A and B are shown apart, each in its own frame.
Chain A
Amino acid sequence: MKVAIIQFPGSNCDLDTLHVLNNVMKVKADLVWHKRDDLRYYSAVILPGGFSYGDRLRAGVIAANSPIMKEVRRMAKDGHPILGICNGFQILVEAGLLPGALLRNSSLKFICKWVNLTIVSNKAIFTHNLKKNHLLRMPIAHNEGRYFIDKDSLKEIYKKNQIILKYVDENGKATESANPNGSIDGIAGICNEEGNVFGLMPHPERASEKLLSPFNTNDGIKIFSSMIDYINRR
């Protein structure tokens, strides 16, 4: 098993994600430059966080048209796990692999802080191992993370269990003050209908070592290990 971490010009969580896969999860992973067009030898793809193309035009939109994305689409269609973290989530949305849009935070400011998240659905192969309502702690760091989707589509993704993560308070309640960026219904992460493409604004790779967590937690591991278990079972 080998995971491809795609590097776009301006990606900046690529090395962090590689570190966590190699040294924490003990899984093989490669950094793959966005101009490559062959991912045949990989069993999963991660689009890391950062500012691909400096967020020019709109976050993620230029990267969504990179040569590698054709191959990412094929991998998605073939049922391989595709994980988009932060800017990676924005790219997946811009590429049409996930529904909705990510807008400027309601505060109009970049926000970097640790948040509480709840598992709304374990449909995604990245949350298979987790129970519903399980509480996770991870940091967010973004300018354009306000998830938005029109009313009808929102109903649709509720019905199909595509809403995976929501921002909540430390008691697991969805409150206005626990929603850091004004996302609709406090949505922090969603998956596609099949459950193999997952995008989230929080950074699991920054929350996978207790040393780095103000709460001595390593909840990020849970996302990666669900993905790895799935690949091993596949």
Chain B
Amino acid sequence: MRISRIAAAAGGVAVAAALVLSGCSSDNGGNGGGSASSGVVNVAWSEPENPLIPANTNEVNGGQVLNNMFAGLVYYKADGSWDYDAAESIESEDYKTWTVKLKADQKFSDGTPVNAESFVNAWQWAAADPELLNQWWFIDAIAFEGGTYDGGENTLALEVIDETTFTVELAEPRADFPVALGYTVFFPLPEVFFEDPEAFGEAPIGNGPYKLGEDGWVHGESLHLVPNETYNGPRKAQNGGLNFKVYATLDAAYADLLSDNVDIVDSVPTSALATFKDDLGDRAVEQASAVFQSFTIQPTLEGFAYDEEGKLRRAAISHAINRAEITEVIFQGTRTPAEDFTSPVIAGFDPEAVEGSEVMEFDPEKAKELWAQADAIRPWSGTFQLAYNADGGHQEWVDATVNSIKNVLGIDAVGLPYPDFAGLRTEVNDRTIKSAFRTGWQFDFPSAANILGALYVTGSGSNDADYSNPEFDKLFRAGLAAIDQDEQSDLFNQSQKYLFEDLPAIPLWYGSVTAGYSTLVDNVEFGWDSWPILHEITKG
């Protein structure tokens, strides 16, 4: 889960500044292509929360920069499909042991070669340190020498074969392993990193389409990237560089977009959702994104255990939410009511193939009936509360959702704002929370395995609802190991039947990219991950 900008940033207020930077720069950075432009693209951005180290970056701001500074083994295209970037091939016979071959003659921007060790050393380093925010990726995916992670010294089951070849042994067979390899955490690191990781985090050296510009990262103001002439992969920069400008609020960024002071704003503020298409015309972008919104009810909440009563109540609540109305009125149609537990931009998305999703239809009669049945088992008393963090802009939809529940079921239902995110997550983590709470998932890589595996498999890391259903687990694991993409999607879709029966989380809607770009840029496209594909943009 990447921490989205909205979840991480303070609702209305936070810090910002921006650095003076002319719209055009003469620095062409040695672009070879004839279609390349020379303008520097200004991108609205917030200050990353952590140093720019791939294994320690789990939010979008740092992720976006790293994604343009590094080339992983694979990269994702706009539609969510993947292709090789630094790798020449990634192959396996049994889907457990994978052989990665790198393209020859690749270099980091400091001139040192990109070889098998660049990847293996980076991964070993990241897996060994639980202080790193992304360490869990390796623990979840890759086998360790001698089996599983012992919490200490043991290393990943990686083996360098030659200069450009290494093997990876997985914990369990996974046919879609190459898909995950485009995620930030799997980027290679140059030797200089290991000498001083701290300094590297301030001024990373990568092997991607861009490198740090002369001004570099000016904290609180901007981060400047210029094209990296040593990069020879498929994502060649088509502009004269990227200037990430820090904004405190989306409103501020949007105001600058209207006056062409910034070129790319990847998220339009709520206050402009109703008007941004008129403001921007064909420069407004609205498309589905890989964000799944829901709320979760822990089984410890009275009346909501995974028993007969709890299932009835969960289903009743789900039927009582008018998702179509809320997405239309509150989000101005920029969200789409959920039809399954994944996302429309994820391969294999097919609501028709998912059984049981009718529990998400708005049906006041059915909702009342199910609630009454649950009351017959044990009467309900009290208030249905839905907790959210007040600093994340969730108040409107939470209020609308609880109003919908209240109007249909005739029970007291209220939104419960937590002043900050840490307070909310602590109670969720300690299982002390006494209410339902908002949950969301932004996909790390374009596969249903990402969300299903992290949230609903027995004992998995982010299973906040303590969900455990052997039938679901079985189908999920079978899907993970399925060789054929269609077969995998089929199994994942089947597995969701159990999720709809038990509703460990109540799906709400899918997110959308609501973005815009200035009159100065062309070729703007947003990827499956809601990110603008920055290297393709032309300007000037």
B is bound to A: no
Q: What residues make up the interface of B, taking CB atoms closer than 8 Å to A?
A: none
